[in-house]
Amino acid sequence: MRVEDFEQGCEREVVNDQELHFVEVKRGGPLSVYGLPFWEQEEEFCRLPVGALPQQSKGVQGLAWHTSGVKVRFRSDTRALAVRVKLRGHSYYPHMPMTTISGFDLYMGQGCAQQFVGVTRTPENTLAYTYPLFNWTTSESQPCYPKWDPLDASGLRQFTMNFPLYNGVEKVEVGFMPGSRLEVPAPFTVPDPILFYGSSITQGACASRPGNAYFQILGRRLDANVIGYGFAGNCRAEPVMLDVINSIPAPLAAFVFDYDHNAKNSEFLQETHQPFFRGFRQKHPDTPVIFMSKPDTDRAPEDTEKRRNIILKTFLDARAEGDQNVYFVDGKLFMGTYDRDVSTMDGTHPTDIGFLHMADAVEDTLRLALARKRVYHN
């Protein structure tokens, strides 16, 4: 279908001398939404069901509106593309760039062959902006990446646009050249979502842009549908969060249990880690679970080792009880041996290099877990 068929009467805007027709991201539209497990029921840019927010901690109530892991995917033959957004509010973190906090980044290509195209630069002190992300209207305006044109057999390119990691949105529209074709995306190779639950690191601090969080890297490498349940400073394995996770409508391909950092001490971790897993396992008896310990092992090594052993015990106890769908990835292995200091921004939160190391460390285990479950799309 042509882009005009989806949004009759929608206003057009000239962006960098190129007229674009804007299509709103909404339920039932051609821009397929991922990373919001309750989107079809509520059509809210909230990672948790809105009705469940009052039971959550104050921190989670706010962070649930941050769109970490949210993305839209679509296919089009447009040769220029922009995003028009109204942000939920002003958001500022002194240790992260605005491209991470309130920015969108764009990838082009299908399956595991996606390439980065561009990222928005959020104007200062504004809640609404329009930004061009892609322009191939002339040979001089081609982006640095990719170096190839990923047209499929029907003459369309697949696009993936990642939402901000540390801010929310009220409205998002994508602009296309008039007359462009617009179609739903090709399916993921791993169509059922992989859920990542963890701390600010899981939410994406401190990647340089949304697509560089470790779970996003893994999603591209595996061509997998991913859900990012990172809640900065507020991943505490509460029963009310378990209730939400157990109510996700879609079957989960895997659960990456990245809970360690936000337990206030090792005693709290001991009290909450295994009960949370057992509550998940009761509802999801066959879902692969990957336990992870925290990556910043150079700080407080004695406490870090104590925490690691608590997580390892949850894994070993499950294996001893006959559970073959559990795996353990040791955070001590994440950041390598050399130049470890460049892997984090502040000794805790990974840089892009650190997130790349984390994805490398988790990838083989996650592939093995998915292969054993045979979750891949034919």
Confidence (pLDDT) at 238: 98
Residues 140 and 216 in one domain: no
Low-confidence ranges of the chain (pLDDT < 50): 141, 378
Considering the domain boundaries, does residue 51 fall inside one? no
* Alpha helices per DSSP H over the chain: 39-42, 58-63, 98-101, 200-203, 214-222, 239-246, 266-283, 301-320, 352-373
Question: Does any domain span residue 354?
Answer: yes
CATH code of the domain in which 98 resides: 2.60.120.260
60 found inside a domain:
no
Report CA dihedral (215, 68, 348, 259) to the nearest 10 degrees: -70
Cα–Cα distances in Å, from 343 out to 218, 242, 296? 17, 31, 9
Rounded Cα–Cα distance for residues 334 and 314 (Å) = 20
Q: Looking at the domain assignment, is residue 308 inside a domain?
A: yes
DSSP strand pairing (254-258 vs 289-292): parallel
Residue 293: which of 344, 323, 347, 257 has the closest Cα? 257
In a domain, 251, yes or no: yes
Closest CA to 113 of 151, 83, 154, 71: 151
135 and 27 within one domain: yes
State how many domains the chain has.
Answer: 2
Kindly state whether residues 87 and 198 are assigned to the same domain: no
Residues 202, 114 share a domain: no
Residue 57, in any domain of the structure = no
Domain boundary among 183, 215, 250: 183
Surface-to-core class of residue 154, CB atoms within 10 Å of its CB (0-12 exposed, 13-18 middle, 19+ buried):
exposed
pLDDT at 254: 98
Closest to 163 measured CA to CA, from 227, 232, 257, 75? 227
Same domain, 280 and 310: yes
- The answer to whether residue 47 sits within a structural domain is no
Same structural domain for residues 22 and 140? yes
215 with 281, same domain?
Answer: yes
Structure tokens that stand for 56 in this block: 């959550």
Q: How many CB atoms lie within 10 A of CB 302?
A: 8
Q: Show the domain range for 88.
A: 3-35+70-183
Domain final residue, candidates 183, 199, 231: 183
Give the CATH number, domain containing residue 307: 3.40.50.1110
- Residues 270 and 251 grouped into a single domain: yes
Of 183, 213, 245, at which residue does a domain stop?
183
300, amino acid identity = A
Regarding whether 216 and 317 lie in a shared domain, the answer is: yes
Coil, strand, or helix at residue 183?
strand
Q: Tell me, yes or no, whether 247 and 165 share the same domain.
A: no
Give yes or no: residues 349 and 244 share one domain: yes
Question: For residue 208, what are the contacts with CB-CB under 8 A and spacing of at least 6?
Answer: 97, 99, 100, 351, 352
Rounded Cα–Cα distance for residues 80 and 91 (Å): 29
Look up residue 362 and give its two tokens. Answer: 């988790």
The Cα diameter of the chain in Å comes to: 65
Kindly state whether residues 169 and 225 are assigned to the same domain.
Answer: no
Residue 248 lies in a domain: yes
